Chains A and B, each alone.
Chain A
Amino acid sequence: MIRLESVEVVFGRGGPDERRVLDRLTLAVPRGQYVSVIGSNGAGKTTLLNAVAGSVPLAAGRILIDGADQSRLPEWKRARYVGRVRQDPLAGTAGDMTVLDNLALASRKGPRRLRLAVPSRLRRELQDRLAELGMGLEDRLRENVNRLSGGQRQALTLLMASISRPSVLLLDEHTAALDPRNAELVSGLTRRFVAEYGLTALAVTHDMRRAIDEGDRLVMMHEGTVVADVSGDAKKSLTVERLVDLFRRTRGGDYAEDRDLLT
């Protein structure tokens, strides 16, 4: 379970370019819920994920993960509770290390010990997990990650982010850099991991279709705050047209290009 209470993030504080990127944002996500987050460019979606992960400091408010206030903890300490996949397939893995070493690194959170990193029992377990990706990576354990394709690498990153069953999984347009086939593959894997591991997820996307079809709840952001929050039956009956309409109303204007703005 995660809870954001009146969270504010301000860049360039006190300077001439001061920008309030998250503005008294409040959001509670119960355990096991999959939330799709949409919003126009610059709405603050990535910043929201950064705030939860601890990569940007809060100007005000607090963030609770599983009931404990985490907002003052440094990123590496918060990482125990957080799994993350970014848009860039290169971002989450060490390319000059093997598939197996990357996965072993991610399989345990916390300080490192002077123990063999991949005892054979763990290797078999990780191999099984890799096999579940259905990409043949279980036979490429000793190959460096930078030899993998973008789709394979992003699937591996997703597995690395999920394997320790974090309290919250943060996905930032994690299929946007992939071709349609791989995007579909990684989306499917995401649904599976979220269900199998019982993960709570915040998934940013620009794909309205996907945001409507996937997840238990849809949150729309605008100018640093939540402007629409749809779940349950209301979400089931959503269409792209209604979503655009919703967006138009929140902006209080009538822009012909609203649809483009959102996507």
Chain B
Amino acid sequence: MIEGVLVEGLVYGILALGVFISFRVLDFPDLTVEGSFPFGAAVGGALIVARVPPPLALGAAFLAGALAGAATSAVYHGLRVPPLLAGIVTMTGLYSVDLRVLGGKANLPLIAHNPVMRAAESWLGGGLDSSIQAFLAFLVVTGVLVLLLDLFFHTEAGIALGALGDNETSVVSAGVDPVRLRSVGICLSNGLAGLSGAFAASYQGFADANFGAGIVAAGLASVMIGEFLFRTNRIGGQLARVLLGSVLFRGIMYAGRSWGYLAGITPNDLRLLTAVLIVGSIAASRYKGGTRPGRSRA
């Protein structure tokens, strides 16, 4: 079952990478992921059920998430409302869109045809246990994602994105349109959430319009647990830390589900546990470092 936790941590780790980019790099508290995650799941799931090749379906899920981000960005920049409100608007509207994408139902099973998981569980041939193969498959996928993001954050655009969340003036002074740059960042963040949603649908065996509930807090908890693990001002380390944090978070949740009864914890208490974890990691990193958890960029 440990492999299950690892796979889950990596799958939801992609979402946590998105949360890291909005909350930490952009300093933009974006709740859109609560909508872009199930939107990606719905689009990816529906396309897979329609027998679209999985890579295309996953790409479409990323784009769907990015589109949700674009909507939030348009509301935020166009109406000059607070980020939280812009995100809530998108997330609320998307729920109805999800239901339509899922064909009028809240739930779409992928059990009969689940090519992503089938590939992940058997890509190394017959000798190896399927759950270990799945773990390795998602390790490769998320590892490549982290490498790509690391590369991106070393480009001119990536550096500017990091600076934007830190001190917008320095970006404007460099002759960069902060609105456009922030939009790119929000789209990237939600694109990752959408991709994560599609993988999660495959992993769970169904896409669900309610996938998003509590996902921001889960992502944040993962990011913060990661920051608690070690300090670095290198972006590559910070990204890897997010994945580790996500795996650890899923592990803690698993422990809560499996052995929580020993401490009187029921599955109903898991959200409370998440909240406590977030507060705990903030408090712990304050206590440990004195400064706040390492910000965005190298």
Contacts and interface: CB of A to CB of B under 8 A. Distances in A.
A79 B174 contact: yes
Interface in B63-110: none
Interface in B239-298: 295-298
B155 A116 contact: yes
Interface in B134-190: 152, 154-160, 162-163, 166-167, 169-178, 181
Contacts of B157: 112-114
Contacts of B167: 90-95
A252 B155 CA distance: 58
A96 interface: yes
A101 B155 contact: no
B204 interface: no
B43 to A, nearest CB: 26
Contacts of A102: 163, 170
A104 B297 CA distance: 14
B26 to A, nearest CB: 12
A95 B167 CA distance: 8
A9 B101 CA distance: 52
> Looking at A105, A114, A142, which has the most chain B CB atoms within 10 Å of its CB?
A105
A117 interface: yes
Interface string A96-114: 1110011011101111111
Contact of B166 (A77, A97, A118): A97
Contacts of B169: 91-92
Interface residues of B, number: 28
Given A93-B167, A112-B181, A114-B156, A105 B174 contact: yes
Contacts of A116: 154-156
B298 A142 contact: yes
Contacts of A160: 170, 173
A84 interface: yes
> Looking at B152, B156, B171, B175, which has the most chain A CB atoms within 10 Å of its CB?
B175
B159 A117 contact: yes
Contacts of A76: 171-172, 175-178
Given A92-B170, A95-B166, A112 B160 contact: yes
Contacts of A95: 166-167
A112 B181 CA distance: 9
A248 interface: no
B298 A84 contact: no
Contacts of A127: none
> Looking at A111, A114, A142, which has the most chain B CB atoms within 10 Å of its CB?
A111
A242 interface: no
A77 B180 CA distance: 13
Contacts of A91: 167, 169
B232 to A, nearest CB: 11
A98 B178 contact: no
Contacts of B176: 76, 110-112
A106 B167 CA distance: 13
A36 B178 CA distance: 31
Contacts of B178: 76
B162 A97 contact: yes
Interface in A117-151: 117-118, 142, 144
Interface string A32-48: 00000000000000000
A96 B295 contact: yes
Contacts of B152: 114
A145 to B, nearest CB: 9
Interface string A248-259: 000000000000
B177 A114 contact: no
Nearest to B170: A94
B174 A93 contact: no
> Looking at A83, A97, A110, which has the most chain B CB atoms within 10 Å of its CB?
A97
Given A76-B178, A79-B175, A97 B156 contact: no
Contacts of A117: 154-156, 158-159
A20 interface: no
Given A76-B175, A117-B154, A101 B159 contact: yes
Contacts of B295: 96
B154 A105 contact: no
A115 interface: yes
A101 B175 contact: no
6 contacts: A76-B171, A98-B297, A104-B156, A112-B157, A117-B156, A142-B298
Interface of B: 152, 154-160, 162-163, 166-167, 169-178, 181, 233, 295-298
Rank and list the top 6 A-B pairs by shortest CB-CB distance, nearest first: A109-B175, A94-B166, A96-B295, A112-B156, A112-B157, A94-B163
Given A94-B166, A106-B174, A108-B156, 18 more contacts: A74-B177, A76-B171, A76-B177, A92-B167, A94-B167, A94-B297, A95-B166, A96-B297, A97-B162, A101-B159, A102-B163, A111-B175, A112-B156, A112-B160, A112-B181, A113-B155, A114-B152, A115-B156
